[in-house]
Structure 1
Amino acid sequence: MPTDLVRVTPEHTGFPAAATLFDDYRAHYGHPSDPSATAGWLARQITAYGLTLTVALRNGRPAGLITTLVLPASLRLGQACSVRDLFVDPAQRRNGVARALMEHAIAEARTTGALRISLQTEPGNAAAQALYAELGFRPVPDLDSLTRTLRS
């Protein structure tokens, strides 16, 4: 079954379905479903902050999504790409959707001249980690990820 990849903006006819899948993604990770707030947030991130949303379609329906963001690579005076979100509808998993989305993100990063593409994932997500390793992603040596909560 072929997978079509489509870049979606708030003006795109597929945006409502993509926002619904993004809301499913949030719910999958334990956040309360809020389709209206999710669609508004996603639209703002795309229009104001440059988030890119790509949706994988199977039979015309969203099967998965990936969001990416271009960031400065200051020391090299270039840019890097960050994969922020990757989600595949549980009914569509193990069908190559995640791989197609990741390969697309890598190709897009190359096209824009990015020096690297990075992502974060949970330590226990073995299936995702295996895919990322197959695609050439490696842990960053001597780098700790730190965060500070500003609001709860």
Structure 2
Amino acid sequence: MSPTVRRASSADLDLIAPLFDRYRHFYTQREDAAVSRAFIGERLARGDSAILLAALDGADGAGFVQLYPTFSSVRAARVWVLNDLFVEAHARRRGVARVLLDAAAAFARADGAARLELETDHDNAQAQALYAAAGWQRFDGTQRYQLPLAQA
């Protein structure tokens, strides 16, 4: 059965929070179900982000993608940042990540966005291959900087 994707709502908090906790743990954060639940619950309640939830074999929770809105002043248009992409171990290599990427693109297009953006680690060859296969292009004309403001 092919993966399907739908937009998550506040009613999905119990499903998304554990996924988000495993995502954070994958990126070296300690497991903390309460922090993950509070963070995702706040995003859903405030509408700060769009979370797309994947189902596989008829069961929700195969993975998710979280998009945050921002804007391009120069283009005078919305831009969506694909900040989080996670697929459960049992669902990997079954097309879930690609379906989530395609759903994110369709969501952003329907919203009238100028583009989608993401970043990944320079040594994450598997993710880079996925993004290239899905039509994403590097934009090397800029240098990204950050100014840390608080301890994480």
TM-score (ref. length: structure 2): 0.92
SS at match of 1:55: strand
Which residue does 1:29 correspond to in 2?
27
Distance 1:35 1:90 in 2: 19
Distance 2:17 2:91 in 1: 17
Which residue does 2:4 correspond to in 1?
4
Which residue does 1:63 correspond to in 2?
62
CA contact (8 A) 2:105 2:116 kept: yes
Cα distance, 1:25 vs structure 2: 0.7
Which aligned pairs between 1:85-104 and structure 2 lie closer than 5 A? 85-104=84-103
Post-superposition Cα deviations, 1:2-24, rounded to whole Å, max 9, x if no partner, equal 212121122x1x32121111101
Q: Which amino acid aligns with 1:57?
A: A
CA contact (8 A) 2:4 2:99 kept: no
Aligned length: 150
Post-superposition Cα deviations, 1:16-39, rounded to whole Å, max 9, x if no partner, equal 121111101111111111112211
SS at match of 2:43: helix
Over 3 Å off, 4+ runs? none
Per mean C-alpha deviation after superposition, the further-off stretch among 45-54 and 131-140 is 45-54
Which aligned pairs between 1:35-114 and structure 2 lie closer than 5 A? 35-48=33-46, 50-58=48-56, 59-114=58-113
Distance 2:33 2:7 in 1: 20
Cα distance, 1:82 vs structure 2: 0.9
Q: RMSD over aligned Cα, in angstroms?
A: 1.3
SS at match of 2:74: helix
Post-superposition Cα deviations, 1:33-65, rounded to whole Å, max 9, x if no partner, equal 111221111111233352111110123131111
Gaps of at least 5 residues in structure 1 are none
CA contact (8 A) 2:53 2:60 kept: no
CA contact (8 A) 2:13 2:40 kept: no
CA contact (8 A) 1:9 1:43 kept: no
Per mean C-alpha deviation after superposition, the further-off stretch among 99-108 and 14-23 is 14-23
Which residue does 2:139 correspond to in 1?
140
Which residue does 1:124 correspond to in 2?
123
Aligned sequence identity (%): 30
